[in-house]
């Protein structure tokens, strides 16, 4: 294991996971704290991760026919209040603008916590016929939620996200859209972020304010807690009625359209850290890493070393690899530690001996494995190694999720599992809020979702003992 | 000229230019008004234009070594006040957040009107050595300025922009950066937006609040008014001193770094409209157009027409052209008008006769010219036509700028030119604020810039008659 200034300063993840997380976000140069609680600065390395997530999602959204738009930052209080459940869910945690320049505003404006009300207001202006549907919109922006407790990436008062909003002729079409976009999130998580997901539906208690149904992808972090990673909501025609959006349908009758929204945020960066990171720092899946390969010259003062390092960088760049070299005046050991902290998936070392032997040394961040690579096969083997790392990170996380997900038939079993091992617990559930609340009070877990892949892990609800056909996954959530 | 519902509804640009502009932004589907004055919705077609501008600039910024970051939306009042000139310039026009949820904040927070103070606050945390420099940062975001009078694209209370912020070891390096980024803006305007620029330095009266020098690219609109299109500021070490940013330099002495910022906003979309638009609507330069070619089937019910139209679309898409077809049930005339309104640079008509003759008809939006294109040369000739349109739009705008820029030696001449012809007026200037103010009071124009390309258009300042070596361009500005 490489040693350097950064490694010495980081808290052991198994001693204090929360502090380990905080250490990483600052030491890896992801976050700086601003002067306002809960407002964080995303430094270039964090923002580059977000840009890579954006690139994947934005392309996928557009392939599926969505268009980007920009809605206002501010929502008049009266507009926020139009949908009853929605305002109840969000009004307690918004920031209020009361003055413009030196003048007090006639009506106070809230900074968007989410933009359903704005999209609905716009649609009520522009939708009149079935020919105008579907509306398939998305926006990349920041939203504000005035949280009491805040943490980098996981709970910001301001966070970056995308929010998709769509409007459809029929309920069926809207339901399909909701599912489709959930699958896009699952694909991003599993194929790019190497984070296996549990896909399912939220219980009524946990669903989005104003939604008929909320679907979610839930991931398991290293501390076995759950991270809700992307949600997709089906609204029925509730908002359309509240905002009086009507269209003449194919039979020329006035109808209310059906609506969805779906969002994913920079909290995923927290998820990447807590899924793959270790006591040496970040550990990035190659497909999403801002730098996939770091080239480090060994004995850089020896003739030919720097030239050769720069040749390797050119070749890899040419081959489409995101590659950099570290030619600073620090020691190789310091550099190893630095780029391990930054989670660069692959390190390539090149020194005089390597040059003599027409090879370089590839070191895998996630396993520490060292592989000698003939320079003639540099591009090919680098790409293979990156794919292998991507796959291995996913498999390791999948194995972690599986082995830390347990089944239980009684409340006592649930408590024992959580006390002794932690993780997710699957039980049957009768569907009643009372039992869901009791599970929280007694076992300290919330329902993460009703998984699409149902199993029969018992016959009755562990709380009320009524016969139950529905399986729920419970966990402690971020 | 094609006729249709949209064309009949648009105001003649030479009768009422402001109303013409408003008609276009709504009829071409660019803008919708929100419930809050000065907050506009950028609909997909407008946002796609912005995305195309982003793609060009973002790639260029990164090539030049800049990295994207995300700074907070909110600035504590005390932070905004740290630089005296800056707060005087911006405090009167910011939105103030006073409540989070139901609680009144201890210190009110303003929504960023620009982010110099935030970048400086961050840099004061992270910069300590010359090794940390330069900091070459950019962010894409929205900012708020509580303007009294608002207009789509030209004066929003909230607008999208990019703001670059950089920090350098030396004044020389910072000055070079300021110039370099101005050139990036000039390049965007001229080569992509087909908008010729006058490059120069702002007078002290017109420079950015807190800057030592502001550089600008100014464009001329169809009504001969000026649009300030991108600005680049040199701050010296003023902010660094106010925010106590110091670094140990190469001689190991504590020094203040030198700073720049530069921004360009969605107002450029207003510039594109007012430079190239006409009484049929928008008129987009191909390099920035969301749709470069619209394929319209003629007698679409005849066998083979729709198939052939779709074949042309596939071929052009394959060749890298942004192309769509309009297969709706509207008449060809309606479609012609619709896509002229949307400013699609090239229309391709394909009907039974064309198919028989192995050709299609290409119609140039900007000139109305019709050209028969053999299908065998479709890709090649389409690309040539798009390049030709791009070039012609620039040349036409350049000729307009040149022929509407006049020289004058006396105040009376300035007034006569502005009354009779309008446009830009070049005069010498003594450099005194009093004369600049008098020019505004008497002739109604502000100094647009002191062009880098100086000419000797007289010997004395037209106001005070003192000998003068500096030429200024004056105009009425948006």
> Do A309 and A295 contact (CB within 8 A), yes or no?
yes
Distances (CA, A) of B288 to B152, B184, B364: 19, 16, 16
Burial class for A77, CB neighbours closer than 10 Å (0-12, 13-18, 19+): middle
pLDDT at B445 over 70: yes
> Do B463 and B221 contact (CB within 8 A), yes or no?
no
- How many Å separate Cα A230 from the centre of its chain? 6
Can you tell me the distance from the alpha carbon of A415 to that of A402, in angstroms, rounded to the nearest whole number?
Answer: 19
In degrees rounded to 5, what are phi and psi of residue B392? Answer: -65, -40
pLDDT at A83 over 90: no
Q: Is residue B297 assigned to a domain?
A: yes
Whether chain B has a CB inside 8 Å of the CB on A192: the answer is no
Whether chain B has a CB inside 8 Å of the CB on A254: the answer is no
Q: Is residue A225 assigned to a domain?
A: yes
- How many Å separate Cα A6 from the centre of its chain? 26
Residues B108 and B139 in one domain: yes
Residues B344 and B311 in one domain: yes
Helix, strand and coil content of chain A, in percent to the nearest 5, comes to 40, 30, 35
Residues B326 and B464 in one domain: no
Give the max Cα distance, chain B.
Answer: 81
Residues from chain A contacting residue B126 (CB–CB below 8 Å) = 32
Q: Is residue B299 assigned to a domain?
A: yes
Q: Is residue B2 assigned to a domain?
A: no
Residue B236 to chain A, least CA–CA distance (Å): 24
pLDDT at B87: 85
Could A121 and B69 be called an inter-chain contact, meaning their C-beta atoms sit closer than 8 Å? no
Task: Give residue-wise pLDDT tens across range B311-367.
Answer: 999 999 999 999 999 999 899 999 999 999 999 999 999 999 999 999 999 999 999
Record the pTM: 0.96
pLDDT at A102 over 50: yes
Task: Give residue-wise pLDDT tens across range B285-325.
Answer: 999 999 999 999 999 999 999 999 999 999 999 999 999 99
Average pLDDT over residues B419-440: 97
Can you tell me the distance from the alpha carbon of A344 to that of A341, in angstroms, rounded to the nearest whole number?
Answer: 8
pLDDT at A183: 98
Chain B from 137 to 156: CB within 8 A of any A CB: 137, 141-142, 144, 146
In which residue are the tokens 């990164």 written?
B62
Average pLDDT over residues A5-30: 88
The closest of A391, A402, A283 to A340, measured between CA atoms, is A283
Residue B161 to chain A, least CA–CA distance (Å): 12
Could A109 and B36 be called an inter-chain contact, meaning their C-beta atoms sit closer than 8 Å? yes
Could A72 and B158 be called an inter-chain contact, meaning their C-beta atoms sit closer than 8 Å? yes
CATH number at residue A347: 3.40.50.800
pLDDT at A90: 87
Residues A237 and A326 in one domain: no
Report chain B's C-alpha Rg in angstroms.
25
Angle, helix B378-403 to helix B305-318, in steps of 10 degrees? 70
CATH number at residue A440: 3.30.110.30
Could A101 and B94 be called an inter-chain contact, meaning their C-beta atoms sit closer than 8 Å? yes
Q: Which residues of A372-386 are buried (b: 16+ CB within 10 A; e: fewer)?
A: ebebeebbebbbebb
Mutate to test the interface with A, among B39, B97, B140, B148 (most CBs of A within 10 A): B97
> Do A229 and A189 contact (CB within 8 A), yes or no?
yes
pLDDT at A432 over 70: yes
Could A95 and B79 be called an inter-chain contact, meaning their C-beta atoms sit closer than 8 Å? no
Can you tell me the distance from the alpha carbon of B326 to that of B331, in angstroms, rounded to the nearest whole number?
Answer: 10
Closest Cβ opposite residue A71 in set B41, B67, B157:
B41
The length of chain A, given as a count of residues:
478
Whether chain A has a CB inside 8 Å of the CB on B67: the answer is yes
Closest Cβ opposite residue A160 in set B39, B42, B70:
B70
Among residues B223, B251, B276, which one ends one of the domains? B276
pLDDT at A8: 56
Can you tell me the distance from the alpha carbon of B316 to that of A344, in angstroms, rounded to the nearest whole number?
Answer: 40
Residues from chain A contacting residue B40 (CB–CB below 8 Å) = 72
Task: Give residue-wise pLDDT tens across range B93-104.
Answer: 999 999 998 899
Task: Give residue-wise pLDDT tens across range A405-414.
Answer: 999 999 999 9
> Do A30 and A152 contact (CB within 8 A), yes or no?
yes
Could A73 and B126 be called an inter-chain contact, meaning their C-beta atoms sit closer than 8 Å? no
Whether chain B has a CB inside 8 Å of the CB on A69: the answer is yes
> Do A120 and A245 contact (CB within 8 A), yes or no?
yes
Average pLDDT over residues B202-208: 95
pLDDT at B5: 46
- Torsion of Cα atoms, A97 then A102 then A104 then A107, to 10°: -50
Among residues A321, A351, A385, which one ends one of the domains? A385
Number of other residues whose CB lies within 10 A of the CB of residue B379? 16
User: Residue A334, SS3?
Assistant: helix
Residues B245 and B125 in one domain: yes
Residues B426 and B299 in one domain: no
- Averaged pLDDT of chain A: 96
| CA angle at A345 for the pair A341 and A351, rounded to the nearest 5° | 90
Whether chain A has a CB inside 8 Å of the CB on B269: the answer is no
pLDDT at A450 over 70: yes
Residues B214 and B344 in one domain: no
Can you tell me the distance from the alpha carbon of A424 to that of A407, in angstroms, rounded to the nearest whole number?
Answer: 8
pLDDT at A3: 39
Beta strands B198-201 and B213-220 are: antiparallel
pLDDT at A112: 97
The closest of A182, A185, A178, A180 to A235, measured between CA atoms, is A178
pLDDT at B89 over 90: no
Task: Give residue-wise pLDDT tens across range B229-267.
Answer: 999 999 999 999 999 999 999 999 999 999 999 999 999
Tokens of A44: 């270039």
In which residue are the tokens 């004055």 written?
B37
- Predicted ipTM > 0.85: yes
Residues from chain A contacting residue B44 (CB–CB below 8 Å) = 67-69, 137
Can you tell me the distance from the alpha carbon of A394 to that of A399, in angstroms, rounded to the nearest whole number?
Answer: 9
pLDDT at A317: 98
User: What end-to-end distance do the CA atoms of chain A give, in Å?
Assistant: 31
Whether chain A has a CB inside 8 Å of the CB on B35: the answer is yes
Could B34 and A97 be called an inter-chain contact, meaning their C-beta atoms sit closer than 8 Å? no
pLDDT at B3: 39
> Do B166 and B239 contact (CB within 8 A), yes or no?
no
Whether chain B has a CB inside 8 Å of the CB on A50: the answer is yes
Residues A18 and A110 in one domain: yes
pLDDT at A85: 84
> Do A229 and A264 contact (CB within 8 A), yes or no?
yes
Residue A450 to chain B, least CA–CA distance (Å): 31
Could B47 and A68 be called an inter-chain contact, meaning their C-beta atoms sit closer than 8 Å? yes
Among residues B276, B301, B329, which one ends one of the domains? B276
Q: pLDDT tier at A89 (50, 70, 90 boundaries)?
A: confident
- Averaged pLDDT of chain B: 96
Q: pLDDT tier at A467 (50, 70, 90 boundaries)?
A: very high
pLDDT at B85: 84
Task: Give residue-wise pLDDT tens across range A226-262.
Answer: 999 999 999 999 999 999 999 999 999 999 999 999 9
Can you tell me the distance from the alpha carbon of B438 to that of B446, in angstroms, rounded to the nearest whole number?
Answer: 10
Whether chain A has a CB inside 8 Å of the CB on B101: the answer is yes
Whether chain B has a CB inside 8 Å of the CB on A121: the answer is yes
Residues B236 and B268 in one domain: yes
Q: Is residue A301 assigned to a domain?
A: yes
Average pLDDT over residues A176-203: 98
No. of helices (H) and no. of strands (E), chain B: 15, 23
Residues A167 and A305 in one domain: no
pLDDT at A5: 46
Whether chain B has a CB inside 8 Å of the CB on A28: the answer is no
Q: Which of A207-221, A383-397, A441-455, B4-18 has the lowest mean pLDDT?
A: B4-18
Q: Is residue B393 assigned to a domain?
A: no
Q: Is residue A394 assigned to a domain?
A: no
Cis, bond preceding A134 (omega within 30 deg of 0): yes
Angle, helix A378-403 to helix A305-318, in steps of 10 degrees? 70
Residue B238 to chain A, least CA–CA distance (Å): 21
Whether chain A has a CB inside 8 Å of the CB on B121: the answer is yes
Whether chain B has a CB inside 8 Å of the CB on A35: the answer is yes
CATH number at residue B215: 3.30.930.10
Could A142 and B92 be called an inter-chain contact, meaning their C-beta atoms sit closer than 8 Å? no
Mutate to test the interface with A, among B51, B69, B89, B93 (most CBs of A within 10 A): B69
Long-range contact pairs involving A100-104 (C-beta distance under 8 Å, separation at least 24): A100/B94, A100/B95, A100/B96, A100/B146, A100/B157, A101/B92, A101/B93, A101/B94, A101/B146, A102/B92
Closest Cβ opposite residue B68 in set A44, A95, A121:
A44
Tokens of B384: 């040539």
Closest Cβ opposite residue A41 in set B35, B72, B146:
B72
A41 → chain B, closest CA residue? B71
A44 → chain B, closest CA residue? B69
Could B122 and A32 be called an inter-chain contact, meaning their C-beta atoms sit closer than 8 Å? yes
Average pLDDT over residues A16-26: 97
pLDDT at B423 over 80: yes
Task: Give residue-wise pLDDT tens across range B407-416.
Answer: 999 999 999 9
pLDDT at A6: 45
Could B34 and A72 be called an inter-chain contact, meaning their C-beta atoms sit closer than 8 Å? yes
Closest Cβ opposite residue B36 in set A42, A72, A158:
A72
pLDDT at B6 over 50: no
Residues B260 and B350 in one domain: no
Q: pLDDT tier at A1 (50, 70, 90 boundaries)?
A: very low
Q: Of all residues in chain A, what percent carry a pLDDT higher than 90?
A: 95
Residues A270 and A299 in one domain: no
pLDDT at A326 over 70: yes
Tokens of A116: 């359903």
Distances (CA, A) of A79 to A75, A105, A124: 7, 15, 12
B93 → chain A, closest CA residue? A101
Number of domains within chain A: 3
Residue span of the structural domain in which A318 resides = 293-385
pLDDT at B2 over 70: no
pLDDT at B8: 55
Q: Is residue A350 assigned to a domain?
A: yes
């Amino acid at each position: 294991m490489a040693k350097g200034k950064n490694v010495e300063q980081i808290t052991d993840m198994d001693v204090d996971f929360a502090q380990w997380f905080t250490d990483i976000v600052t030491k890896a140069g992801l976050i700086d704290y601003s002067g306002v609680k809960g407002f964080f600065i995303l430094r270039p390395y964090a923002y580059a991760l977000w840009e890579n997530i954006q690139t994947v999602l934005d392309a996928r959204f557009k392939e599926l026919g969505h268009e980007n738009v920009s809605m206002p930052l501010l929502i008049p209080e009266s507009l926020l209040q139009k949908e009853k459940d929605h305002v109840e869910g969000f009004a307690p945690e918004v920031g209020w603008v009361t003055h413009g320049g030196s003048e007090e505003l006639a009506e106070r404006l809230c900074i968007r916590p989410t933009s359903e009300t704005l999209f609905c207001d716009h649609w009520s202006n522009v939708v009149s016929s079935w020919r105008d549907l579907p509306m398939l919109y998305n926006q990349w922006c920041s939203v504000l939620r005035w949280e009491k407790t805040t943490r980098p990436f996981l709970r910001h008062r301001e966070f970056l996200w995308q929010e998709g909003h769509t409007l459809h002729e029929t309920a069926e079409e809207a339901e399909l859209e909701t599912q489709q976009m959930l699958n896009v999130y699952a694909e991003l998580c599993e194929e790019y972020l190497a984070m296996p997901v549990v896909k399912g539906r939220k219980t009524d208690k946990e669903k989005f304010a104003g939604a008929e149904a909320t679907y979610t992808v839930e991931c398991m972090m290293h501390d076995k807690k759950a991270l809700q990673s992307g949600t997709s909501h089906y609204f029925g025609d509730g908002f359309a009625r509240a905002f009086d959006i009507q269209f003449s349908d194919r039979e020329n009758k006035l109808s209310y359209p059906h609506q969805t929204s779906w969002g994913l945020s920079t909290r995923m960066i927290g998820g990447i850290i807590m899924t793959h990171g270790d006591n040496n720092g970040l550990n990035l899946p190659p497909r999403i890493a801002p730098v996939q390969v770091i080239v480090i010259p060994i004995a850089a003062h020896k003739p030919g070393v720097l030239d050769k390092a720069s040749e390797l960088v050119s070749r890899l760049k040419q081959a489409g690899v995101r590659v950099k070299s570290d030619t600073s005046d620090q020691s190789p050991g310091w550099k190893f530690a630095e780029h391990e902290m930054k989670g660069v998936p692959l390190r390539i070392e090149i020194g005089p001996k390597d040059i003599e032997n027409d090879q370089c040394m590839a070191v895998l961040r996630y396993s520490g494995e060292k592989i000698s690579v003939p320079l003639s096969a540099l591009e090919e083997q680098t790409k293979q190694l990156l794919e292998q790392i991507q796959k291995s990170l996913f498999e390791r996380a999948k194995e972690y999720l599986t082995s830390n997900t347990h089944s239980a038939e009684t409340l006592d079993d649930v408590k024992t599992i959580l006390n002794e091992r932690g993780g997710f617990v699957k039980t049957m559930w009768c569907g009643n809020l009372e039992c869901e609340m009791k599970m929280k009070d007694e076992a300290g877990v919330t329902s993460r979702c009703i998984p699409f892949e149902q199993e029969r892990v018992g016959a009755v609800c562990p709380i009320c003992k009524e016969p139950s056909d529905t399986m729920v996954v419970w966990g402690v959530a971020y």
